[in-house]
Structure formats: C-alpha cells, structure tokens
Chain A
Amino acid sequence: MPHKWGLAVDLDACTGCGACVTACHAENNIPTVGPDQAARGRAMHWIRIERYWEGEFPDVRLRFRPVMCQQCDNAPCEPVCPTYASHHTEEGLNAQVYNRCIGTRYCANACPYNVRFFEFFNPVWEKPLHLQLNPDVSVREVGVMEKCTFCVQRINAGKIQAKAEARELADGDIKPACAQSCPSKALVFGDASDPDSAVSKLRRSSRGAGLLEDLGTRPNVTYFPRHTEA
C-alpha cells in the first residue's frame, strides 16, 4: 500500500516561535530576498506563521497559525500547469518539478493558500554562507516556482534507509524540518494510510479541519483549532 503523507497542526500547542520557519529556510535552501523585494511581495517562506489579533486593547488575544503547502488531494495548482511541473505523486504529494517549470506562475495564481513562490532573481548567498546550503536539496534558479515539499528529500532518505536495514518504515522515522524543530510538538507528520500512525489518530478526531476546506481542495494538512482560552 503506498504511503500517504499527512501533517497535523495543533494550534493549541503552537506558540508562534518561528523555529519551523527558520528550520525550513535552512533545510530547503530558501533564499532571502531583502527588504525591498519583500515589500513587493517576493519574499519566500515555504512555511509562515500567520498572526491573528482578537479583541480590543487591553483585552487582546494573539493566535498563531503555521501555514505551509497543504498538499491538496484535489490541488488547484495542478491542472493549470501547462508543463506538468506541478503534479501529483502516488504518495499524495503535490510535487513541483523544477526542470519542467517554465515560470508561467499560473499555479501560484490558482493556489488559494498563497504558498507557492516564484524565483524572481537568481538567489545569492554571501560567501561563506553558501557552505551551509543543504546538499540534499536543489538550489533553484531564476524563473521557477517553488513550494513546500513536505521535505521530500527526507522522505526519500528515510525510505532508502529503511530498505537498507531491510525493515518497514516506522512511524516517526521521517520528520520534515518544521516538525523536527517544533519545540511544542505542534506539528505531527506521518503516514496517513497507516491507521496506527500518530497523524492518522489525530486526523480521526472530529476537532480537525482543513484550511479553506469548503473550496473542495481536500488538503492533507489538518488543523486543530484552539479550544483553550489563553
């Protein structure tokens, strides 16, 4: 049975610390673009923390929501791609193939979550920062679209390692950078096709909901809304 990767986000646990954002940038060689380009909406964050203020001062509450690619089963970004750069894998990942991408940006326009990013420039790292680039992940060039991959390099590495040790993949073997770095364990990643995995158990809860679910995108990221009054 093929794997089906899913992520559960517990908004009760999320403190909005931003460790996931930092870890994601480091893991996936995501360039920073500087304040001028960021002001033009060209900043790239495969995962971002949305902030919501509720109430009137001084009685205000702050809520956080980490948002990454929802790896939709019915992804709006896929049918609009003229080159099949954005396509669905057997394991339910919404894959982006940089080699095929010709930069039409239709996918980013179709995505209701704003989680696809375009390389407007060739990324630049001041030396010696280029030595910290992750060798397991491509460094994308100008003119391609990129987005959260659920750390597919770690998924592949985990599968290769399990096969080398002649065993089945165990729950928790694979952790994307965001889930690994989350200090409050708000992000839980795993195989949703395995009924005993932590993520499957969480997904069975009636509390869980997908982001903008009524659009029919069938996201593979499940959010658990806050139920404590902080």
Chain B
Amino acid sequence: MARSARFWPVVLLGAAVCALAACERVAPIPQAPSETVFTTAHRTIGDAFNEFFGRRAEPVQPIEFPHDIHIEKGMTCTDSCHEAAVDGPVAGLPSVAMCMTCHEAIATDRPRIKTIAEAYAAKGLDLPWQRVYGFSQSAHVKFNHAPHIRAEVDCATCHGDVAKGTVARRTVDHTMGFCVGCHREKNAPNDCMTCHF
C-alpha cells in the first residue's frame, strides 16, 4: 500500500512533464550538425565534455620536425617558417616549398627529408601540419602575434622551449590568468575588448 502511494504521484508527475515537453516541441527543433553544415555546436557530447575540461588530443604531425637542429644551425622562429607572426595575427606554418628551398641541397640523404621530397614535394602536395596551440571557438579570443613581437615578448614565453625539443608540443597552458598576468606586468591594455570580440 505504502509503495503504490508513492508510485502513482511519481507516474502522474512524469506524464505531466512529458506532456509539457511535447507541447514545447511545437517550436521547430534546431537541426543537428551534419557534414553539410557548419555550426558552433559540438558534434558529440564527448566533444563538449573534452572542451569543457580543456582536454585536447596531441596533434600528429606529418613528419617529426626537429626544431632543435634548425635553431642550432642559426635559424630563428620568425626567419622564414613562422614569418607571418611579425606583422600579422597568425604565425603560419611553412609550406613544403619553404622546406625545399634549403633541402634541395642540404641533408638530402636523411630519411625525413626523403619523405618530404618524395611523398610531398614531388607529388605537388603540401605538408598537412597540425596546429599545436590555438584557442577554442567558445573562448572567443582573437589573438594577434604582431603586437606581442613588437613588445619583444620572447616566443618561448608562450610556446615553451620549442628550440630545445624536436616536435612542438603544448607545454604552456594559455589560460586567461597567464595572459592577464603578463599584460598587468607590462602595462598592456586589460580591457575585455582587447582580446574578446
């Protein structure tokens, strides 16, 4: 008796909620993201979950590019590979033609150079480099490299010691606290509209 007394109100309440939900459905439901449309929605709940907790897959690069060797040879980050950072918002990733300007002649016998020469350059393909850093769409951050380079912020401040490693990995967490801390120190603008627009 006690069990059914609790049971029926719950069932009735459930039915009422369902009925209300059905009424609400009169409004057209936004279409689920598909391959033919672009939307800001996450594709799956898992994607939303990962973004919320800041979990990102490590990028897999086409070749294990050794940053350290190139820096040892006297190149700098903004020399030719990421030169767009000097006067633009994005740093850019080098094209295979950029690699081949030097590697037509230099170290042509190394396996990685052979890979890019044969599998990419010879076929007219470009290297499918993967971005290592970058803000998620919902962060609404519009970052511009150029003013930071003019302010003489070292690349390593935000990108870690890439010069000492081979493949670039995410070693610095680009949180808002990280950005604002430096902006305060250097008396850079701190208004929301500086970055979020």
Which residues on A are within 8 Å of B, measured CB to CB?
36-37, 87, 89-90, 93, 95, 97-100, 121-127, 129-130, 133, 136-142, 149, 152-153, 156, 160, 163-164
Question: In this assembly, does B31 line the interface, its C-beta being within 8 Å of a C-beta of chain A?
Answer: yes
> Which one of A133, A156, A164 contacts B150 once the chains associate, using CB atoms below 8 Å?
A164
On whether A36 and B193 interact (CB within 8 A), knowing A122-B40, A141-B138, A160-B147, the answer reads no
Please tell me if the beta carbons of A98 and B193 are within 8 angstroms of each other in the complex.
no
Chain B residue, CB-CB nearest to A85: B192
How close is A107's CB to chain B, nearest CB, in angstroms?
15
Please tell me if the beta carbons of B192 and A97 are within 8 angstroms of each other in the complex.
yes
Please tell me if the beta carbons of B191 and A121 are within 8 angstroms of each other in the complex.
no
Question: In this assembly, does B37 line the interface, its C-beta being within 8 Å of a C-beta of chain A?
Answer: yes
A89: chain B residues within 8 A (beta carbon):
191-193
Please tell me if the beta carbons of B41 and A95 are within 8 angstroms of each other in the complex.
no
Apart from A99-B139, A138-B137, what are 20 other A-B pairs with CB-CB below 8 Å? A87-B192, A97-B140, A99-B140, A100-B192, A121-B30, A122-B30, A123-B39, A124-B39, A126-B36, A126-B37, A127-B36, A127-B38, A130-B38, A139-B137, A141-B40, A149-B197, A156-B144, A156-B197, A160-B146, A163-B150
Contact with A along B16-46 (1 / 0, CB 8 A): 0000000000001011010111111100000
Please tell me if the beta carbons of A156 and B194 are within 8 angstroms of each other in the complex.
yes
How close is A76's CB to chain B, nearest CB, in angstroms?
20
- How many chain B residues touch the partner (CB < 8 A)? 28
Question: In this assembly, does B73 line the interface, its C-beta being within 8 Å of a C-beta of chain A?
Answer: no
A141: chain B residues within 8 A (beta carbon):
40-41, 137-138
Chain B residue, CB-CB nearest to A120: B30
**Which residues, 38 to 62 on B, are CB-close (under 8 Å) to A?**
38-41
Please tell me if the beta carbons of B39 and A36 are within 8 angstroms of each other in the complex.
no
Please tell me if the beta carbons of B41 and A138 are within 8 angstroms of each other in the complex.
no
**Which residues, 112 to 151 on B, are CB-close (under 8 Å) to A?**
137-140, 142, 144, 146-147, 150
Q: With the chains together, A158 CA to B173 CA distance in Å? A: 29
Please tell me if the beta carbons of B37 and A142 are within 8 angstroms of each other in the complex.
no
> Which one of A121, A137, A164 contacts B87 once the chains associate, using CB atoms below 8 Å?
A164
Q: With the chains together, A95 CA to B147 CA distance in Å? A: 22
Chain A residue, CB-CB nearest to B37: A124
A138: chain B residues within 8 A (beta carbon):
137, 140, 142, 196-197
Q: With the chains together, A127 CA to B39 CA distance in Å? A: 10
How close is B29's CB to chain A, nearest CB, in angstroms?
9
Please tell me if the beta carbons of B40 and A153 are within 8 angstroms of each other in the complex.
no
B197: chain A residues within 8 A (beta carbon):
95, 137-138, 149, 152-153, 156
Please tell me if the beta carbons of B28 and A99 are within 8 angstroms of each other in the complex.
no
On whether A139 and B150 interact (CB within 8 A), knowing A87-B192, A160-B144, the answer reads no
How close is A145's CB to chain B, nearest CB, in angstroms?
13
How close is B26's CB to chain A, nearest CB, in angstroms?
11
B139: chain A residues within 8 A (beta carbon):
99
**Which residues, 73 to 99 on B, are CB-close (under 8 Å) to A?**
87, 89
How close is B174's CB to chain A, nearest CB, in angstroms?
14
B35: chain A residues within 8 A (beta carbon):
127
Interchain residue pairs with CB less than 8 A apart (10): A87-B192, A89-B191, A89-B193, A95-B192, A100-B192, A127-B35, A140-B40, A141-B40, A156-B144, A163-B147
How close is B143's CB to chain A, nearest CB, in angstroms?
11
Q: With the chains together, A99 CA to B197 CA distance in Å? A: 10
Count chain A CB atoms within 10 A of each CB in B37, B38, B138 and give the residue with the most.
B38
> Which one of A98, A123, A164 contacts B196 once the chains associate, using CB atoms below 8 Å?
A98
Please tell me if the beta carbons of B140 and A98 are within 8 angstroms of each other in the complex.
yes
A129: chain B residues within 8 A (beta carbon):
38
Please tell me if the beta carbons of B39 and A125 are within 8 angstroms of each other in the complex.
yes
Q: With the chains together, A160 CA to B146 CA distance in Å? A: 8
B196: chain A residues within 8 A (beta carbon):
97-99, 138
